[in-house]
Structure 1
């Protein structure tokens, strides 16, 4: 059972999703505004946040950024549209995944469980050192130049997956399957947005990456070689 915080301003949608998520075995708290949602994240520290994009007051993008600044609680965005503005905006704000409304409760439940499974996966491999980047796979920590790097769970999983086989090219489809548990195509924006965020944290010059490199037409590989 996961502790889910649902941030949704539409009372009918909120009530329906609360009821459905409880039926799927989750413990659910709810907020009707971004401000209340941020306050509940601080107070309750949920296992995962389900966050609507369109909220009164501060919108879902800003809420996501504030949740990210507070720690590593995963966020799944609810978007009213499947267009690039909502999807990319949510991913750039730090969301781990997104679901387009109207959403079937069983689909949302499956997405939440997939995100939580990825976080709970144990990885016991030894520490890997790449120049000034140190990845401790047992402790699930990353240091650069002796300073710990604050990565979100999804960013960490992506780095672990890429660095598992340095030099090997991984397609976006492979990364979607291994990092996001998505076994279908069409969500490559998840990968690209997460790569951009990861580069900002582990690269000296994100526009000229040394560690997370693009292989045009194929995907990404981990360097340096």
Structure 2
């Protein structure tokens, strides 16, 4: 079930939003200030936050910045103000959307659904599945069956790039430019060392992919078809 956090010091707004979101099939968590909201986020996985601007202890702009610093979830700001300066401050704090009170609960639902679709797409793009292998760019983890592998950063980025572009041949110079950057002062042997390490790590763990040498050019990754 999708969890939505509602943060507003107006109990009537909390109740109104909870009723409509619950009817739409969402699990709702409520907080009347930013401190309580952060406590809920720490103890529960929430998929989206609806945040009022004017609240005691911590205003909605500050709370939005705190959420953006710690969690990768969309935020909708609620406010009684409709000035362009207030909207600008809201988007500068990191909100994804903005809704002015009074609002129609159905409009809030439409906006929530649109944001969740957008973030689902973003999440999908960060995860690659090949056979029983899952590589997650957000957590920098590689999972093969029940085993989770943490790689050094450059090995992870190299593997992620290969898996994002299966059956494409890349020269060593291209890989250095993409993974290490144009200002990298090493040489192409760096690529060879990292490929060797990836092969040693995964050759006995999975048949889902193989990194092959293309003589005179560089490397390609051959991935198992689903």
Question: Residue in 2 aligned with 1:43?
Answer: 43
Structure number with larger C-alpha Rg: 2
The answer to whether the Cα contact below 8 Å between 2:73 and 2:119 also exists between their aligned partners in 1 is: no
List alignment gaps of at least 5 residues for structure 2: 129-134, 139-153, 157-226
Question: Residue in 2 aligned with 1:69?
Answer: 69
Deviation at 1:45, TM superposition (A): 2.5
Deviation at 1:13, TM superposition (A): 1.2
Poorly superposed stretches of 4+, deviation over 3 Å: 138-141
Deviation at 1:87, TM superposition (A): 1.2
Give the distance between the partners of 1:18 and 1:57, measured in 2 at CA. Answer: 23
The answer to whether the Cα contact below 8 Å between 1:50 and 1:78 also exists between their aligned partners in 2 is: yes
SS at match of 1:30: strand
Q: What are the equivalent positions in structure 2 for 1:164-179 lying under 5 Å apart?
A: none
Question: Residue in 2 aligned with 1:81?
Answer: 81
Question: Residue in 2 aligned with 1:28?
Answer: 28
SS at match of 2:76: strand
Give the distance between the partners of 2:125 and 2:72, measured in 1 at CA. Answer: 18
Alignment RMSD: 2.6
List alignment gaps of at least 5 residues for structure 1: 127-137, 149-225
Give the distance between the partners of 1:44 and 1:86, measured in 2 at CA. Answer: 30
Question: Residue in 2 aligned with 1:57?
Answer: 57
SS at match of 1:22: helix
Give the distance between the partners of 1:108 and 1:43, measured in 2 at CA. Answer: 25
Question: Residue in 1 aligned with 2:172?
Answer: none
The answer to whether the Cα contact below 8 Å between 2:53 and 2:60 also exists between their aligned partners in 1 is: yes
> Against the structure 1 CA distance between its residues 123 and 72, is the aligned structure 2 distance closer, same or farther, given a 3 Å change threshold?
closer
The answer to whether the Cα contact below 8 Å between 1:51 and 1:76 also exists between their aligned partners in 2 is: yes
Confirm or deny that 1:116 pairs with 2:116: yes
SS at match of 2:49: strand
TM-score by length of 1: 0.54
Question: Residue in 1 aligned with 2:97?
Answer: 97
SS at match of 1:54: coil
> Against the structure 1 CA distance between its residues 91 and 43, is the aligned structure 2 distance closer, same or farther, given a 3 Å change threshold?
same
Equivalent pairs counted in the alignment come to 134
Give the distance between the partners of 1:12 and 1:46, measured in 2 at CA. Answer: 22
The answer to whether the Cα contact below 8 Å between 1:75 and 1:96 also exists between their aligned partners in 2 is: yes
Give the distance between the partners of 1:80 and 1:16, measured in 2 at CA. Answer: 16
Give the distance between the partners of 2:43 and 2:86, measured in 1 at CA. Answer: 28
Give the distance between the partners of 1:102 and 1:24, measured in 2 at CA. Answer: 20
Give the distance between the partners of 1:103 and 1:140, measured in 2 at CA. Answer: 37
Deviation at 1:37, TM superposition (A): 0.8
Question: Residue in 2 aligned with 1:10?
Answer: 10
Give the distance between the partners of 1:123 and 1:13, measured in 2 at CA. Answer: 35
TM-score by length of 2: 0.54
